[in-house]
Amino acid sequence: MSVTKGHFIVFEGIDGSGKTTQINLLKKHIEENNFICHDTKEPTDGLVGSLLRQCLAGKAQTDEMTLAALFAADRLDHILNDKDGLLKKLEEGISVISDRYILSTYAYQSVRVPLKWVMDLNSMAVGKLRPDCHIFIDIDPDIALERIAKGRKSNELFENKKRLTEVRNRYFDLFKQFKDTENIIIINGTQNIEKIADDIWKNVSKYFIIEGGE
């Protein structure tokens, strides 16, 4: 008997935009609808992802080209890993929510590295797996930095106003570039947590309605 493939939903946004908060709520909502849901993130906790986290925290240092290549390598492992890779989960019928995916590398790394090269690095990943939708939680960098300062874990590398402003602008350039080929949903992240969760559910509930159900 063939298993219906899971759905793949990606959250995007600048640091501190509220992705983790909303991913937890969406996962709960999906499970309440009797679907199996796995949440994951990039950088991953795998071999390359751990190296990236050391760089983000300032415990290790490398140049921005190497970082771009590492993000692409971490993504391939995330997709292809035999044990818990994205393709395996989706093929088992498990839906997956990822905190960040390809658009993060395009938006963050293209600030310092040519976008064309970043896209070339990710072409294999794009060919293997594209999301059903990208949910972008939009928030002003000042608000994001205020939230980050209020105490959650922080990574030093990109969490400054100049970089986050550039990254946000690049996300919007990308949305124009991909408007006909990718399903991108932009959500106002300055609303309260419940309203944001409602807006997200309105856009993704269609994937979690059982045919023939109530």
Task: Spell out the residues 6+ positions from residue 134 whose beta carbon is closer than 8 angstroms to its own.
Answer: 10, 11, 12, 101, 103, 182, 183, 184, 185
* 165 contact choice in ligand TYD, ligand ADP, none (CB below 5 to 8 Å, kind-dependent): none
Q: Catalog residues that contact ligand ADP under the rule CB under 6 A.
A: 13, 15-21, 147, 150, 152, 192-193, 196
Q: Catalog residues that contact ligand TYD under the rule CB under 6 A.
A: 15-16, 19-20, 42-43, 56, 71, 99-100, 104-105, 108-109, 155, 158
CB 9 within 8 A of CB 133: yes
CB 13 within 8 A of CB 181: no
* 40 contact choice in ligand ADP, ligand TYD, none (CB below 5 to 8 Å, kind-dependent): none
- In the complex, what is the shortest distance from the CB of residue 109 to ligand TYD, in angstroms, rounded to a whole number? 6
- In the complex, what is the shortest distance from the CB of residue 2 to ligand ADP, in angstroms, rounded to a whole number? 35
| Closer of 71 and 208 to ligand TYD (Cβ) | 71
CB 42 within 8 A of CB 49: yes
Taking the C-alpha atoms of residue 146 and residue 124, their distance in angstroms, rounded to an integer, is: 37
* 71 contact choice in ligand TYD, ligand ADP, none (CB below 5 to 8 Å, kind-dependent): ligand TYD
Task: Spell out the residues 6+ positions from residue 50 whose beta carbon is closer than 8 angstroms to its own.
Answer: 43
* 43 contact choice in ligand TYD, ligand ADP, none (CB below 5 to 8 Å, kind-dependent): ligand TYD
Judged by DSSP in three states, 96 sits in: strand
| Closer of 7 and 100 to ligand TYD (Cβ) | 100
